[in-house]
Amino acid sequence: MADFVRDDAKEVVNDTVTCLMWQDDNASKTVMKTWQEAIDYCEDKNFAGYEDWRLPNSNELYSIGDRSKVDPAIKDAFKNVNSFYYWSSTTHAEYHSHAWFMIFDYGYDDHNYKTEDRNVRCVRDGQ
């Protein structure tokens, strides 16, 4: 099982199993973008001393959910979260105008039009 550790100084959460580093500042619960804007936002992000942020794929985003909890259904290390939809970078295989997102009220995923505004939480590959 993954071990998620928060770094309060940098406002990130580190997954010690996958070595992913997750953005967890106030913007993580307030910034909303379309799918393409979310991709651009993460790729342009300079945060916590790093410039190699990206929008997580659907499997990565699903991995931070905690379906034993409700509203929000996310690992305890995350402090800046709401129960709304968060974009993943994964396009739906059949409906190319759709992308997958995670909704953290009950920790499930779904898909919708890429033109919809959703929350954004960036990730980077750690060391």
Give me the domains of the chain, ranges plus CATH numbers. Answer: 4-125 (3.10.100.10)
Continuous segment of H or E residues that includes residue 95: none
Of 51-55, 65-69, 96-100, where does mean pLDDT reach its minimum?
65-69
What's the CA gap between 24 and 67, in Å, rounded? 19
pLDDT 10s digits, 17-60: 999 999 999 999 999 999 999 999 999 999 999 999 999 999 99
The structure's pTM equals 0.94
Angle at 34 between CA 123 and CA 72, to 5 degrees: 55
What's the CA gap between 14 and 127, in Å, rounded? 10
Going by pLDDT thresholds of 50, 70 and 90, the confidence category of residue 126 is confident
Identify the pLDDT of residue 98. Answer: 98
State both tokens at 122: 């960036």
